[in-house]
A and B are shown apart, each in its own frame.
Chain A
Amino acid sequence: MSMNNQGRPSAIPAGSAGFDSVTGTVTGNRGLQIEEPLIFEQDSAGRTGVDLPDVPKVASRLGAVKPRAKVGLPGLAEPQVVRHYTRLSQKNYAIDSGFYPLGSCTMKHNPRLNEKMARLAGFSDVHPMQPVSTVQGALELMDQLAHWLKTLTGMAAVTLAPAAGAHGEMCGIMAIRSAHEAKGDSGRTKILVPESAHGTNPATAAACGYSVDAIPATADGRVDLEALKAKLGPDVAGLMLTNPNTCGLFERDIIAIAEAVHAAGGYFYCDGANFNAIVGRVRPADLGIDVMHINLHKTFSTPHGGGGPGSGPVVFAESLAPYIPVPYVTHGKDGFALVENAGDGMAFGRMKAFHGQMGMFVRALSYMLSHGADGLWQASGDAVLNANYVMARLEDVMTASFEGPCMHECLFDDRFLKGTGVTTLDMAKALIDEGFHPMTMYFPLVVHGALLIEPTETESKASLDQFVDALRALAERAKSGDVAYFQAAPRLTPRRRLDETAAARKPVLRWTPPVPAEALAAE
């Protein structure tokens, strides 16, 4: 088969099964699905996508450093750059285009008002080191966001500094450590983490120098309170627990859990990734939680952007409130002030170069104001209702791992696929051909072949019904023995299953310039 330098067939291959196996067109394109080479493969030396003023003629003053000879970047004109990224964008699935039920990720609608607000020059074109007298509105916005977060969680203090959920976890664990140290208690070397936890939880605890001890789950998918109590002692710094947990269930014993942790002298960290289930209905402080991060990019709709930026503010109960990092906003006699240095007070240090993810703060506050107290009440209610509806409509053909009601997500395992030869991964890939983003697969680890579905409140009933119908049909098809169909999925995507093993075995992590033909000949 003849291939071009992108490895695409450049004509219909002889004996091919047609459109199902490869893209049988001369160009490699397929209607609206257009192949796109790397930007480095579109270079024409000297071409540029910007027009800049002439450089003033002055003697350069680079000290001992020499100017570099070249960088090696390709030259493209603006229309080529626009087309490149537009075509690439069309190879992505996104919430804007369809249902994205990725459990634990809260892929809800991203309102465009938030984007517009974040781009107001008064927020986007403000330098972090401007005199504070010129950024009073920015500090007011941070103060307002802090007020909403404290009110919604019932907590005493908040830091806006952390850049994402995992960064917030780090911040929370550092605060816990600081509090123990302030009491002169250095014997606490362990953090307890349930088996169902997000990978970031044990990674965070370990990064902060703690050993990690796993808490088993009960048959109903919750923390085993007795097992927890047995592990609590003077060597335990705290517990990291997600609630609602990663099985989509509310920890019924949460108040008893908090009391036990506190009685043993530990602190209770809550991973707030699943806050969307209860926001505006339950205040984490009322559950005995001491510290919790909040993913603004989940609960408060700031866009995920293909992997960030996130924002992970952390709320603290009174007991931990003194131990927050710099910077933070205070009310001074001349308006708002910014405390930027850890020298004064009990701040434990600094997490980030500047004041946090301001762009995300604007978007999150815009979302909060749009919903208001009444809208958040409705939103968490709808999120939970949607998840229960999906669960109820699937539980006769798939195997729900635990009895409901679930909270904002529902968990299935692969028992319904037993003996079919079809795996969780195969189901996910077949779902792609139906026009859906798959659910979270193989997480949490506490059930076999997990399929974790989080619909969020911004899906309509029609959208849920279509998804459920597709999944039911696939479950029936799997049980009918049509393994080959699943193993060949997806068929209709820009690329079919990718060889991840080959990618890891011999990593190619960047483009490299082709070796000129003469050099090859000389070898």
Chain B
Amino acid sequence: MRYLPLTEADRQSMLEAVRATSVEDLFRDVPKAAQLAGPIGGLPNHMGELEVERLLGSMAAKNLPAGSVPSFLGAGAYRHHVPATVDHLVQRGEFLTAYTPYQPEVSQGTLQVLFEFQTQVALLTGMDVANASMYDGATSCAEAVMMANRVTRRKKAILSGGLHPHYRDVTTTDARFIGFEAVALPAAPTGGEDLLALVDDKTSCVVVQNPDVFGHVRDYTDLAAACQAKGALLIVVVTEALSLGLLTPPGDMGADIVAAEGQSFGNALNFGGPYVGLFAVKDKYVRQMPGRLCGETVDADGRRGFVLTLSTREQHIRREKATSNICTNSGLCALAFSIHVSLLGEAGITQLAQLNHAKAVQMADKLAAVPGVEVLNDGFFNEFTVKLPKPAAAVVEELAKRRILGGVPVSRLYPGEMEDLLLVAVTETNTDADMDAFAAALTEILGSGVLA
């Protein structure tokens, strides 16, 4: 057993030291009926590295890696190129195998990273402060709503029909169990919602997404002002954090809380997780925030250092009165985010965002030229919605047979609805050849009659 250092001789001498006759003797407080007599049945015995690699390798081989084919999938998870430096640094054992930095004197590395991460998130979102991360964008969104309820002492959230339906579902699930109202508007693939009309004196917040789940980008400055006038907060959700490198940030539009998914920076697709939730607010709401916060201070010698702070908001101190029950968050994913953003810097992030947008514009034009295909968006960042003359799910299956991952059918997110709509995301990883192959395959599928 390669992970167990005790030898049989060690075990014998240790049993003597603890005055026990056997290891089983140490389990004597466990009811006899519940003690297994030996290793549990129905599971294999231990394996060497080689055998484990073979077994898991065979499962991995049954999947189609997005990077091995032209891939245009988005809908809240984006395939970006992650510089080699990122994965090298996050695998340093001092980062990888450390716990939450409860002992700051021996955790200054993690703490300084968190302080820098919080600053990067604040800068990107245009907000005053950010926390040290949440589980993912969807849980950030739900926590943002609950925070707005605390701040306003109201209990009704208005969720835009442009909000990612999984984010909506996480929020309405919490609403049902935690006891607040979440009014979710119907999907709005072409926009045109009158959110403000729904805001009344019971409304704690309005939740919009930018770009929204259909890819539309909007200026929410007027909505922010109108919410403020009615005593409600504006929460802006961002599922493609790279868009913050190009678009006017939510903070500049007047958002009170930004809840975002940070996967685009530094984190692989990983079939949906782990990702990293970003959470940023205006200064005045800091003490109502969920999650961990890292702050600057000085040590006994007057030198600058960092600690976890304002923990009187948190569960390990406040218990049932905490602002959230969150404990473990997404530390290592936040580190990966931070390293990638550091590598990009101001010049890199701007260029990368422009590159994504320009390629998406090119792709939109190529798809709009396919007979029967219509692009629904006027404004978008790197993802847009197309209307197809055939059911999108069937088209996507046909594309997959031709080894092209051609986007996310909207009906996968909204079962039984909008079956002709397809979400298409384009990033720097898509070559001109990828884009041409996609347009050509789509033309062929729609024109050939393979789909009745």
Contact = CB atoms under 8 A, between A and B. Distances in A.
A325 interface: yes
Interface in B108-125: 108-110, 112-116, 118-120, 122-124
Contact of A46 (B94, B296, B347): B347
A105 B103 CA distance: 14
B452 interface: no
B328 A389 contact: no
Contacts of B19: 392
B346 to A, nearest CB: 5
B327 interface: yes
B73 interface: yes
Contacts of B412: 129, 340
Contact of A7 (B132, B304, B357): B304
Interface in A237-286: 249-250, 252, 254-255, 278, 280-283, 286
Contacts of A419: none
Question: Size class of B's contact patch?
Answer: 35 or more
Interface size on A, as a range, is: 35 or more
Interface of A, secondary structure class, is loop
A507 B286 CA distance: 9
Given A68-B247, A93-B98, A375 B301 contact: no
Given A95-B97, A163-B136, A203-B324, A66 B343 contact: no
A352 interface: yes
Closest 9 CB pairs of A and B: A63-B379, A354-B272, A122-B60, A305-B332, A349-B173, A96-B93, A137-B62, A128-B272, A307-B331
B89 A85 contact: yes
B41 A373 contact: yes
Given A209-B177, A343-B415, A55 B358 contact: yes
B332 A309 contact: yes
A409 interface: no
Given A58-B358, A358-B270, A378-B4, A206 B94 contact: no
Nearest to A284: B34
Contacts of B138: 350, 352-353
Contacts of A376: 39-40
B319 A202 contact: yes
A40 B119 contact: yes
Given A135-B64, A511-B116, 15 more contacts: A40-B116, A40-B119, A58-B362, A73-B341, A94-B94, A108-B3, A281-B30, A306-B101, A308-B133, A308-B329, A353-B138, A366-B52, A369-B55, A382-B4, A384-B23
B190 interface: no
Interface string B413-428: 0010000000000001
Given A89-B94, A93-B98, A437 B355 contact: no
A38 interface: yes
Contacts of B218: 63-65
A272 B326 CA distance: 16
B110 A306 contact: yes
A488 B300 CA distance: 9
Interface string A102-140: 100101111101011111111111111111011111101
A503 B307 contact: yes
Interface string A435-460: 00110000100000000000001111
Given A94-B98, A202-B319, A392-B18, A457 B4 contact: yes
B226 to A, nearest CB: 16
B244 interface: yes
Interface string A157-174: 000000111110110011
A369 B247 contact: no
14 contacts: A50-B348, A58-B362, A64-B379, A91-B107, A92-B107, A96-B93, A116-B53, A120-B60, A127-B405, A354-B166, A355-B272, A376-B40, A385-B18, A509-B129
A488 B216 CA distance: 58
Interface string A284-321: 00110000000001000001111111110000000000
Given A7-B298, A373-B40, A496-B301, A127 B66 contact: yes
Interface centre among A21, A371, A376, A379 (most CB of B within 10 A): A371
B47 A209 contact: no
Interface in B6-55: 6, 10-11, 13-15, 17-20, 23-31, 33-36, 38-47, 49, 51-53, 55
Given A65-B217, A163-B139, A498-B105, A92 B94 contact: yes
A61 B379 contact: yes
Given A343-B415, A355-B272, A500 B297 contact: yes
A81 interface: yes
Interface string B248-262: 110010000000010
A67 B332 contact: no
B76 interface: yes
Contacts of A38: 112, 115-116
Given A164-B327, A166-B328, A385-B6, A49 B97 contact: no
Best-buried of A108, A280, A348, A494 by chain B (most CB within 10 Å): A494
Nearest to B106: A93
Contacts of B2: 370
Nearest to B50: A113
B413 to A, nearest CB: 8
A308 B267 CA distance: 14
A385 B77 contact: no
A124 B268 contact: yes
Nearest to B431: A53
B154 to A, nearest CB: 17
Interface stretch (B193-201, B228-236, B309-317): B309-317
Contacts of A93: 94, 98, 103, 106-107
B170 interface: yes
Contacts of B58: 137
Interface string A487-516: 010100111111110111001111100000
A357 B170 contact: no
Contact of B27 (A53, A281, A429, A499): A281
B286 A166 contact: no
Contacts of B345: 47-49, 73-76
A400 B365 CA distance: 73
Contacts of B181: none
A362 interface: yes
B442 to A, nearest CB: 15
A143 to B, nearest CB: 10
B299 A495 contact: yes
A140 B62 contact: yes
B169 A342 contact: yes
B269 interface: yes
A126 B273 CA distance: 10
Contacts of B333: 305, 308-309
